[in-house]
């Protein structure tokens, strides 16, 4: 955790901000009091000439790393350049100019919360840090429509009242006296260069993987058997022949979950030891509560709970670091990229004629939500503020009609501040914008949660595909190369590494936790539904207890929110909340 608080001496400090911590350090800056607290895993702080510097890295820094930071600060190297592949957040306080600069890596491995007012500045990579600094930790109702539709809230908004969240690659300069953002820069899209069209991406990924395995010789790989994780495992196998791989499974409830066999078949080919982590219904329920507590946000993927349990097991087995393939899809090419590229002539026609703009309201009114309706009736122009823009269809999980009835909100409420998130890239090609919206929203939120789940168990989690050097090079590869076939760059790399064509070209399957196992009445989540009726109308919750995807996802989000509020607003302990859920679950089992 990193917590930086700056307070003018004319502004009285609250009791929370005066509390003593051995990991905190205070600095005398004349008119301002500066306190910096770092956590045990990632944080660092330094006094460099007249500047005070703090930050977090993706793994413990060596002396040479610190020297490079110091040389860069003194030499005036732009902070977003200084971040490189290793730094996630960098904060530089300049007392003479009375400004503080925060640079957040495009790697997006950490949340970066920000609260600013005249004479008071708080920056933290955890909600517990905000609370420690005296900031209220309370759900912002204005974000609820966006949250229920997408399952998370995208930067620059956060789920907390009065708190902003920096986007990946964002750099802000804050005037400490006025409490205003003086400068706001976003990640600059790389131009030129890139990967040779006839080559693969192993030369980009291998250095990042080698660095992690050098620092953590017992590191493992999350291997689902899909292309992205398989490439990481294959490259890691080339560095350390005894590397271990792991996967999770929902087989405790869904015996048809075939992800384990997918992963095992790839592990057998690579010759690596693979372990499938299964669990029990009871452990999933308690793990859900633990996950929200560790992540400090609702865990929008059902798989996040399984990963939390896996990280606990891996920490107990002394695997101090794990590599993950998250983020590859939006960089290398996902289903949305493929759809737009395959039908680019139709998109050009719709963009020119603006027919989609005219049809979209009618489709909404009639409830046409199919993929082809979405493709044909949405806007492809530059007006990101439109709720009918194609980009805002990406990642929707909840049913919009249900949410509007539930919250009595207008369509604009669903977007939150997403248009401002993408405003810096409004002139990029649509395919690049698809990458940007995925990278800066869903990938950012997912990685921030998974990193914290791992950290709670004392495990470092790395996502090499989103390392800035890998991302910058891959982003410049032409789309006609990346989309030559599905995930062409990854498939080409696997072929060069000798992976059989049957494993390279096998169909991607959808594994997971179907709603029929957890959403209907009497299913796994019923104890939490019953508890949530204390807050939400019973009829509303019962109406969402169905297998239909849009309704069940709204239910999932409401239950996540309920548990978050119980932990962070009501103040219930993990043990107390988990205990009530287990008691209710056990009672229900005995009645059957």
CATH topology of domain 202-331+440-504: Rossmann fold (3.40.50)
* DSSP label at residue 275: E
Residues 326-344 have pLDDT tens digits of 999 999 999 999 999 998 8
Query: Is the pLDDT assigned to residue 512 strictly greater than 90?
Result: no
Give domain 2-185's CATH superfamily.
Answer: Aminohydrolase, N-terminal nucleophile (Ntn) domain (3.60.20.10)
Please state, rounded to an integer, the average pLDDT across all residues of the chain.
89
pLDDT at residue 12, rounded to an integer: 64
Provide the strand spans (E) within 19-147.
Answer: 24-29, 32-38, 43-48, 51-57, 87-94, 99-104, 113-117, 120-124
- 227/222 Cα distance (integer angstroms): 12
pLDDT in tens, 279-324: 999 999 999 999 999 999 999 999 999 999 999 999 888 888 999 9
Task: Tell me what pLDDT residue 268 has.
Answer: 94
pLDDT at residue 258 in the model: 72
Q: Which residue has the higher pLDDT, 108 or 5?
A: 5
Predicted local distance difference test score (pLDDT) of residue 388: 82
Q: In what order do the strands lie in the sheet with 460-462?
A: 273-277, 244-248, 220-222, 321-323, 460-462
pLDDT band per the 50, 70, 90 thresholds, residue 16 = very low
Mean pLDDT of 201-224: 91
pLDDT of residue 18: 43
Q: According to the model, what pLDDT value does residue 20 have?
A: 39
Q: Which residue has the higher pLDDT, 182 or 107?
A: 182
Q: What pLDDT does residue 580 have?
A: 97
Pick from 356-370, 393-407, 472-486, 554-568 the range whose average pLDDT is largest.
Answer: 554-568
pLDDT reported for residue 513:
87
Give the whole-angstrom CA distance, residue 424 versus residue 445.
19
Residue 538 has pLDDT above 90, yes or no: yes
Assigned token pair, 177: 């006296």
pLDDT of residue 385: 87
**How does strand 32-38 pair with strand 2-8?**
antiparallel
pLDDT tens digits, 83-94 = 999 999 999 999
pLDDT at 540: 95
- What is the Cα–Cα distance from 397 to 558, expressed in whole angstroms? 13
Q: What is the pLDDT of residue 372?
A: 63
Instruction: Report how far residue 491's alpha carbon sits from residue 226's, in angstroms, rounded to the nearest whole number.
Output: 11
| Residue 169 binned pLDDT confidence (cut-offs 50, 70, 90) | very high
The residue assigned the tokens 């902070």 is 79
Cβ proximity of 332 and 195 under 8 Å: no
Please state which of the ranges 6-20, 24-38, 60-74, 452-466 shows the lowest mean pLDDT: 6-20
What is the structure's pLDDT at 19? Answer: 40
Which residues are 47's β-sheet partners?
52
In this prediction, residues 497-510 reach a mean pLDDT of 85
- Please report, for the chain, the start and end positions of each structural domain, with discontinuous segments joined by +: 2-185, 202-331+440-504, 333-436, 515-591
């Amino acid at each position: 955790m990193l917590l930086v608080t700056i307070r003018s001496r004319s502004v009285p400090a609250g009791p929370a901000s005066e509390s003593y911590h051995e990991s905190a350090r205070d600095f005398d800056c004349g008119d301002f009091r500066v306190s910096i607290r770092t956590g045990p895993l990632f944080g660092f702080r330094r006094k460099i000439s007249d500047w005070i510097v703090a930050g977090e890295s993706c793994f413990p820094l060596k002396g040479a790393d610190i020297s490079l930071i110091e040389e860069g600060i003194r030499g005036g190297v732009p902070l977003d350049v200084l971040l490189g592949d290793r730094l996630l957040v960098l904060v530089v306080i300049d007392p003479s100019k009375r400004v503080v600069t925060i640079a957040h890596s495009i790697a997006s491995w950490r949340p970066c919360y920000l609260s600013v007012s005249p004479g008071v500045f708080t920056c933290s990579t955890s909600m517990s840090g905000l609370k420690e600094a005296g900031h209220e930790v309370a759900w912002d109702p204005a974000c609820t429509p966006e949250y229920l539709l997408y399952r998370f809230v995208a930067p620059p908004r956060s789920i907390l009242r009065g708190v902003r969240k920096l986007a990946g690659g964002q750099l802000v300069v804050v005037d400490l006296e006025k409490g205003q953002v003086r400068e706001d820069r976003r990640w600059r899209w790389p131009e030129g260069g890139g990967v040779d069209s006839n080559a693969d991406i192993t030369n980009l990924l291998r250095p990042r993987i080698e660095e992690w395995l050098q620092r953590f010789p017992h590191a493992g790989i999350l291997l689902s058997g899909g292309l992205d994780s398989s490439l990481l495992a294959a490259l890691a196998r080339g560095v350390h022949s005894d590397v271990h791989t792991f996967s999770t499974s929902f087989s405790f409830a869904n015996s048809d979950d075939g992800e384990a066999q997918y992963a095992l078949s790839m592990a057998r080919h690579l010759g690596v030891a693979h372990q499938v982590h299964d669990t029990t219904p009871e452990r999933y329920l308690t793990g859900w509560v633990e996950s929200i507590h560790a992540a400090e946000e609702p865990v929008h993927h059902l798989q996040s709970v399984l990963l939390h349990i896996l990280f606990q097991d891996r920490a107990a087995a002394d695997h101090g670091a794990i590599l993950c393939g998250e983020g590859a899809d939006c960089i290398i090419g996902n289903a949305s990229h493929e759809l737009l590229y395959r039908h680019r002539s139709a998109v050009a026609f719709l963009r020119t004629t603006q027919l989609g703009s005219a049809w979209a309201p009618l489709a909404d009114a009639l409830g046409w939500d199919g993929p082809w309706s979405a493709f044909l009736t949405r806007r492809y122009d530059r007006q990101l503020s439109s709720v009918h823009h194609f980009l805002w269809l990406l990642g929707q999980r909840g049913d919009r009609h249900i949410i509007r009835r539930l919250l009595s909100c207008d369509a604009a409420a669903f977007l939150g501040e997403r248009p401002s998130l993408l405003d810096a890239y409004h002139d990029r090609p649509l395919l690049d914008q698809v990458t940007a919206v995925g990278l800066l929203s869903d990938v950012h939120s997912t990685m921030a949660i998974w990193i914290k789940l791992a950290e709670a168990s004392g495990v470092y989690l790395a996502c090499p595909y989103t390392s800035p050097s890998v991302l910058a090079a891959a982003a410049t590869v032409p789309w006609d190369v990346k989309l030559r076939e599905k995930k062409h760059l990854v498939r080409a790399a696997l072929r060069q590494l000798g992976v059989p064509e049957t494993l390279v070209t096998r169909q991607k399957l959808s594994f997971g936790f179907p709603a029929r196992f957890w959403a209907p009445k009497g299913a796994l989540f019923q104890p939490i539904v019953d508890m949530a009726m204390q807050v939400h109308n019973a009829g509303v919750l019962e109406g969402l207890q169905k297998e239909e995807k849009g309704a069940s996802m709204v239910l999932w989000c409401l239950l996540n929110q309920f548990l978050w509020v119980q932990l962070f607003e009501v103040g219930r302990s993990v043990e107390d909340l988990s205990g009530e859920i287990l008691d209710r679950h056990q009672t229900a089992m005995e009645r059957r």
